[in-house]
Amino acid sequence: MTLPLNPAFAATEPPPVMEARRWIEGVSFPADRPLINVSQAAPVDSPPLGLRQALADAALNDPQAHLYGPVLGLPALREEIAAQWSATYGGVITPAQVAITQGCNQAFCTVMATLAGPGDEVILTTPWYFNHKMWLDMASVTTVPLETDATLIPSAEAAARLITDRTRAIVLVSPNNPGGVEYPAETLAAFRDLCRARGIALIVDETYRDFDSRTGAPHDLFADPDWSDTLIHLYSFSKAYRLTGHRVGAVIASQARLAEVEKFLDTVAICPSQLGQIGALWGMRNLRQWVAGERDEILARRKAMVEGFKTLQGWKLLGCGAYFAYVEHPFDMASDALCKRLVSEASLLMLPGTMFQPEGSAAGKRQIRIAFANVDAKGISEVIRRLAAFRA
């Protein structure tokens, strides 16, 4: 007897990173050509020593670190986020408008659960972040693709033509995953104005904001005194402080929205990880200069990637920033088939554009995402060399 399966889950694609990892199972890589894994956008190094010591001290000496905490997160962390975000963006954010989640993926799922249900529509730019699409599929929410041109920058005018009476939100990720591009402040303001006029939410995921190449605030959305009537902001502490395993993210939204968020979080996780929150708070208070150094290193790797692709005949760099290069390959084959061949023939693990585009997308078949944040300049040079040497 086969037990029932929610048809929405049956229709959802498997997790792309896990799928790609299966491509290397049982594969032997030559000693002179070890595997270079540029498939996942996550730090692999441990947090800096001071942060690890803060975690250890809390684990050993703070009894509260092992108990349930407030559903919406530690008050001290919510206060710190509100204060720092207000200063950075030149706006007013209160602690009551901040909620802590178990990573930014949970932040997205939580917010979306309060916004959209079966039969509703949400607009995602393409190429999209696959976990966003997966949640919408599992929730029986229709994903409406907003195609971008060669710049990978979405158009609010094009989005306006996609809005129906079932549209509940538009989702933007900047710096973008998978495209790497940084959305201009004017683009984000145009989407804010559109969403406000049409009575829908604008969700801005800034997981990679700490590695934005621009100085100063990347937008002025929070400077709008009425920002909370339209904007929902998402953030992750995983990248800036290497806290991926501790799962700490944040939602910044209206207090009324967070009252609904609390229902979801209490049902799913009860509270965010206490130790993770302690680590994030310590990082916010003590690691500003360290994070600046991490940003400089990522920008140096970005430069190496840009320079490297100038030498690759036939390849095209569509976008590059934060942790990602999004590229177009020159071969007469779909990107998913090409990426599988690159594993065995070049010892490179990358994700094909088919994982970031609607099924059957011609663009997706030509595109590949390269997550270069864990590869130093020497490693990036080797990636470029192997791509140059590959023959289809």
Task: DSSP for 322-364, please give it.
Answer: TTEEEEE--SSS-HHHHHHHHHHHH-EE-EEGGGSS-TT-HHH
**What distance in Å separates the CA atoms of residue 214 and residue 74, rounded to the nearest whole number?**
31
Whole-number mean pLDDT of the chain? Answer: 95
What are the pLDDT digits (tens) for 204-218? 999 999 999 999 999
- Residue 281's Cα: distance from chain center in Å? 21
Q: Which of 264, 287, 310 is the last residue of a domain?
A: 287
Considering the domain architecture, whether residues 282 and 202 belong to the same structural domain is answered as yes
What's the pLDDT score for residue 276?
Answer: 95
The parent domain of residue 306 ranges over: 7-46+290-389
Average pLDDT over residues 159-174: 98
pLDDT at residue 275 is higher than 90: yes
What are the pLDDT digits (tens) for 324-383? 999 999 999 999 999 999 999 999 999 999 999 999 999 999 999 999 988 999 999 999
**What distance in Å separates the CA atoms of residue 303 and residue 90, rounded to the nearest whole number?**
30
Q: Cα angle vertex 301, ends 54, 358, to 5°?
A: 95
Report yes or no: 220 and 90 within 8 Å, Cβ to Cβ. Answer: yes
Give the length of the chain. 392
pLDDT at residue 81 is higher than 90: yes
What's the pLDDT score for residue 18?
Answer: 87
Q: Which of 233, 255, 287 is the last residue of a domain?
A: 287
| pLDDT-based confidence at residue 151 (cuts at 50, 70, 90) | very high
Can you say whether residue 135 is alpha, beta or left, with left for phi > 0 and alpha for psi between -120 and 50 degrees? alpha
| pLDDT-based confidence at residue 26 (cuts at 50, 70, 90) | confident
pLDDT at residue 38 is higher than 90: yes
Considering the domain architecture, whether residues 64 and 145 belong to the same structural domain is answered as yes
Residue 349 lies in a domain: yes
Considering the domain architecture, whether residues 145 and 13 belong to the same structural domain is answered as no
- What is the tally of structural domains in the chain? 2
**Helix (H) or strand (E) run with residue 255 in it:** helix 255-268
CATH number at residue 346: 3.90.1150.10
CATH number at residue 75: 3.40.640.10
Q: Which of 287, 302, 330 is the last residue of a domain?
A: 287
Considering the domain architecture, whether residues 119 and 217 belong to the same structural domain is answered as yes
CB neighbour list of residue 45: distance below 8 Å, 6 or more residues apart:
242
What's the pLDDT score for residue 3?
Answer: 92
Global confidence as pTM: 0.94
What are the pLDDT digits (tens) for 297-315? 999 999 999 999 999 999 9
255's tokens: 């207090």
| pLDDT-based confidence at residue 40 (cuts at 50, 70, 90) | confident
Considering the domain architecture, whether residues 156 and 59 belong to the same structural domain is answered as yes
Considering the domain architecture, whether residues 370 and 224 belong to the same structural domain is answered as no
Average pLDDT over residues 227-253: 95
pLDDT at residue 17 is higher than 90: no
Residue 2 lies in a domain: no
Considering the domain architecture, whether residues 259 and 110 belong to the same structural domain is answered as yes
Separation in Å, CA 192 to CA 72, 154, 178, 226: 26, 13, 22, 11
What's the pLDDT score for residue 173?
Answer: 98
Considering the domain architecture, whether residues 260 and 214 belong to the same structural domain is answered as yes
Considering the domain architecture, whether residues 130 and 185 belong to the same structural domain is answered as yes
Considering the domain architecture, whether residues 190 and 320 belong to the same structural domain is answered as no
